[in-house]
A and B are shown apart, each in its own frame.
Chain A
């Protein structure tokens, strides 16, 4: 009987132009989302490569000057050339294997750093923010948007009248005269309709994952897990609603209202709650603190230098003592780091608290769970971008520690010492750590779905 129901449903779908249009739209829109993401990733990766190439070229020139100086020995290069204070290392938030499926915060936050003792933690962020704010405010039509926002609507559009039509036409009693329960009829029809749609969306997702090659296999599996859990939630929600609501216009109204609540209203309220409960310390105040520190350091650089050399007289014997450009800059940056430490800590604390709040608030809306999980798997979540910035600051401190003696004593380092300096590469989170982060929310989605199905069957029995 169940097979007959499925076959009948497939036949009805084949003959319904609206259903075919919905299925075609699903395929085209999801493929467009993948394609748009791939185009973005290529553009983004090209920019990061350009950045690395620029820094590498500058450092190679720096290195060649130093090699020539070491070889000649006699004729020193101009003061500014091959100075340790001018060493710069690039650091980039590279595209994770599935970044093209969820652009997330990557388009919004800095992804290129220039780690150098000549910079502080603000100026090491390479100039960004050239995007058109109007376009940026609308966001991207990537696969995560398609799956979180559009797919539920398509599921609703295809299956809200899964049983109501029979009710209005009066054919329901005829159907129920067969040895099958109402719940099973709804379930069979719903699974046939949504199954086809999810198959098409899944196909696009797999195509999207395939763009990442073998590197995308494990994250791809995690992505599919989130996709299935979120889809299952919506299928169960539809099952629940159509089991209780008899008229199709009421069913579609209820489901669209649920969609508005889950994907628009609750995330907006959660956002406002997070902003209200844990307001971010003003970034403009942070900027002012940094400038005050810079001002103070410049005003007192002579005193700072004297104080330092009192403690380290061995460092007062370098070459080029007449020019204290790099030393003064180093002191300034160090002071900026020290003076802004409280506000940086407050910013970190605010971000952490918000993140923790969201860990709880996400359970009010499956859309938040799904979006956060997609971002996490794609490496475009807020925590990843924050970790990137933090690691950038750590890299700056590490490089400063390596070069401090040479900068303060105004001496050059050797080519050998230069080669020993660390490179700074940002690594995306490992899949097991991502799985640990998303597992509980995804389980919550699955459990909610099971409850919705159970209650739906109970509604049918009534």
Chain B
């Protein structure tokens, strides 16, 4: 007996089972609803961002004649682009700020999080295709496969198949192949819907490496589902009845998909609490006024200023020393901000390391992280936005302060710039980073997922062979 015979028998059973067809249709329906919700959200969010960015430019140009440093305090905003694939997986988009105020002297955190407006339902799940893939499809797999071996054993058909010459390996391959076929028959229409949504209806910020990301998502979910299918086959082979197999698998599903991610996040934040907002504000203020409170640094800067202009008194220089002072405050603060925000990033890393450690208990944790990363909706992509915004802030503030220094004359405080300067200030480019920038991080998560797949395969194979051998010696 070959594996193909087993596959065709399983396919026949599935086709005749109206419950399986109803289950498929339900998943496809939920998926379609999730895609519609996801595309709608992404398009709305991106339209809001584009409108806000345009208004920010208009407001900036319309500020009228003003002292350039005053303009630096009014400043501009950088708005985070919403990636196309966030319609598939919104990841942490709702929980990360969408706008950064690029004001003089201060590096601000991002503000305006979408989740803030969601009300009491924010703590329930948000309907998205990724959520269906992460939570519902594994449950469907369990429902399809819990009887793979246990059912055959209970009905006595396992021994029957073996007497017809089906070796344990053939049976295992047959079960695996039929599980893969069932999965593919579900995933192919789903993938098609996702592709149509992404390429036709989605109006999110374009991702240059969209195809690569989609391939990555396909492989990630392929491995994820394979893990669940293998675990389901393995547990089914270990259990003597459908009942026990179903119970064990449901418990596993609950533990691995529902509890583990939330528990891991809670452990992470309990072990390494979120940055203290009051301390953060104090540090930011300390950095802001750091140069003003540091007479030594001021003296050194003054000496450099005098030397640069070949004068002995600041009043004799052709430019206003106060303009140079403003430049100095930024140059003094920038590395300190880098250092402080690096410390915060270390804290985030510590939290994420804790979560990664707990991936031992659940393949859903690395899958969630990998999926949101590939969709461009995770913290790494957010950090790229923050870094880009900060770079823009520094360039903008420097440009404004230099305008004051070089054009403001000896009494720059009275000098006013106009629209000619405002127009030269560049907009935040709002481009999406490429996947390659975070590749090592994602490779690590994918590695964890592959380890899970390897372990699940070995477990399923061992359990399947054991089941056949036990049946043979009965």
Interface set of A (CB-CB < 8 Å, partner B): 36, 39-40, 43, 46-47, 50-51, 54, 104-105, 107-109, 112, 126-142, 145, 149-150, 153, 157, 160-161, 164, 168, 247-249, 252-253, 256, 260, 263-265, 267-272, 274-276, 279-280, 282-285, 287-288, 291-292, 294-295, 298-299, 347, 350-351, 354-355, 358, 367-368, 371-372, 375, 381-382
Whether A358 lies near B127 (C-beta < 8 A) is no
Question: Is B63's CB under 8 angstroms from A295's CB?
Answer: yes
Residue of A nearest to B54 (CB): A288
B275 touches A271 (CB 8 A): no
CA distance A256 to B279 in the complex (A): 45
Q: Nearest Cβ in chain B — how far from A370, in angstroms?
A: 11
Q: Quick check: B51 and A282 within 8 Å, CB to CB?
A: yes
Contacting residue for A127 out of B96, B108, B117, CB 8 A: B108
- List A contacts of B250 (CB < 8 A): 157, 252-253, 256
Could you list 20 examples of A-B contacts with CB < 8 Å? A46-B276, A47-B276, A105-B119, A128-B111, A129-B110, A129-B111, A131-B274, A132-B269, A133-B113, A134-B265, A134-B352, A137-B95, A138-B266, A249-B246, A268-B126, A285-B51, A285-B52, A295-B59, A299-B63, A367-B124
> Judging by beta carbons under 8 Å apart, are A355 and B49 in contact?
no
Question: Chain B contacts of A247 at CB under 8 A?
Answer: 243
Taking each of A47, A351, A371, which has the highest tally of chain B beta carbons within 10 Å of its own beta carbon?
A: A47
B123 touches A139 (CB 8 A): yes
Pick from A134, A161, A276: contact of B40, CB under 8 Å? A276
Q: Which residues of A contact B122 (CB under 8 A)?
A: 105, 108, 382
Residues facing A in B15-43 (CB within 8 A) are: 30, 33, 37, 40-41
Least CB distance, B28 to chain A, in whole angstroms:
14
Interface string of B246-269 (1 = CB under 8 A from A): 110011011000110111111111
Q: Per-position contact with A for B228-247: 1 when CB-CB < 8 Å, else 0? A: 00000000000000110111
B253: A residues at CB distance < 8 A: 256
B48 on interface, CB distance cutoff 8 Å: yes
Is B192 interfacial (CB-CB < 8 Å)? no
**B74→A271 contact, CB < 8 A:** no
Could you give, for residues 134-148 of chain B, a 1 whenever the CB lies within 8 Å of some chain A CB and a 0 otherwise?
A: 011001000100100
Q: Are A133 and B96 in contact (CB under 8 A)?
A: yes
B246 contacts across to A, CB distance below 8 A: 248-249, 252-253
Tell me the complex Cα distance, A108–B277, Å: 12
The verdict on A382 contacting B120 (CB below 8 Å), with A133-B379, A260-B139, A285-B51 known, is yes
**Which residue of chain A lies nearest to B269 when distances are taken between CB atoms in the complex?**
A135
Bound complex: CA of A129 vs CA of B167, how far in Å?
A: 60
User: Contact between B109 and A269 (Cβ–Cβ < 8 Å)?
Assistant: no
Give B99-124 as 1s and 0s: 1 = Cβ < 8 Å from A's Cβ atoms. Answer: 10000000011111101111111111
User: In whole angstroms, what is the CA distance A9 to B34 when docked?
Assistant: 44
Q: Let me know if A272 and B379 touch, CB within 8 A.
A: no
Complex: chain A residue closest to B276, CB-CB: A47
- A136, A139, A249, A263: which contacts B146 (Cβ < 8 A)? A249
- Given A149-B258, A288-B56: A295 and B279 within 8 A (CB)? no
- List B266-318 residues whose CB lies under 8 Å from chain A: 266-270, 273-282, 284
Q: Which residues of B contact A367 (CB under 8 A)?
A: 124
Please tell me if B325 contacts chain A, counting CB pairs below 8 Å.
no
B123 contact set on A, CB distance < 8 A: 104-105, 139, 145, 371
Closest chain-B Cβ to A64's Cβ sits at a distance in Å of 21
- Distance (Å) between the CB of A21 and the closest chain B CB? 10
Do A351 and B119 touch across chains, with their CB atoms under 8 A apart?
Answer: yes
Write out the residue numbers on chain B whose beta carbons fall within 8 Å of the beta carbon of A253.
143, 246, 250
Given A141-B263, A271-B118, A284:B48 Cβ within 8 A:
yes
How distant is A10 from chain B, measured CB to nearest CB, in Å?
Answer: 21
Q: A104-B123, A256-B250, A282-B52 are in contact. List 13 more A-B contacts (CB 8 A).
A: A108-B122, A130-B109, A130-B274, A133-B113, A134-B351, A135-B355, A136-B92, A249-B243, A272-B37, A276-B37, A283-B98, A285-B51, A298-B66
- Whether B277 pairs with A127 at a CB distance below 8 angstroms is yes
Contact A267 B124 (CB under 8 A): yes
The CA-CA distance from A350 to B117 in the complex, in Å, is 9
CB-CB under 8 A from B251, the residues of chain A are 157
Which one of A138, A288, A350, A375 lies within 8 Å of B261 (CB-CB)?
A138
Chain B contacts for A149, CB-based, 8 A: 258
Shortest distance between the CB of A272 and any CB in chain B (Å): 5
A131 to B277, CA, bound (A): 9
Pair B270/A39 contact, Cβ less than 8 Å = yes
Say yes or no: B48 contacts A285, CB within 8 Å.
Answer: yes
Q: Is B155 an interface residue (CB 8 A)?
A: no
Q: Give complex CA distance A10, B352 in Å.
A: 43
Instruction: Report if A127-B284 is in contact (Cβ < 8 Å); known contacts: A272-B127, A285-B52.
Output: yes
Bound-state Cα–Cα, A105 to B40, Å? 25
Q: State whether A382 touches B243 (Cβ < 8 A).
A: no
| Beta-carbon contact of B52 and A284 below 8 Å | yes
What residue in chain B is nearest A286 (Cβ atoms)? Answer: B112
**Bound form: Cα–Cα A294–B99 in Å:** 18
Chain A nearest CB from B134 CB (Å) reads 11
Query: Whose C-beta in chain A lies nearest to the C-beta of B280?
Result: A130
* B321 beta carbon closer than 8 Å to chain A: no
Given contact pairs A249-B146, A371-B120, A129 touches B92 in the complex (Cβ within 8 A): no
Q: Is B188 an interface residue (CB 8 A)?
A: no
Nearest Cβ on chain A to B236's Cβ, whole angstroms: 11
Which single member of A43, A129, A160, A294 contacts B97 (CB below 8 Å)?
A: A129
* B337 is an interface residue with CB less than 8 A from chain A: no
The answer for the CA separation of A260 and B59 in the assembled complex, in Å, is 48
Q: Counting CB contacts under 8 A, is B221 at the interface? A: no
CB within 8 Å for A139 and B265 given contacts A132-B347, A133-B96, A298-B74: yes
Identity of the chain B residue whose Cβ is nearest the Cβ of A168 in the assembled complex: B243
Instruction: Provide the residues of chain B in CB contact with A168, threshold 8 Å.
Output: 243
* Contact B74–A294 (Cβ < 8 Å): yes
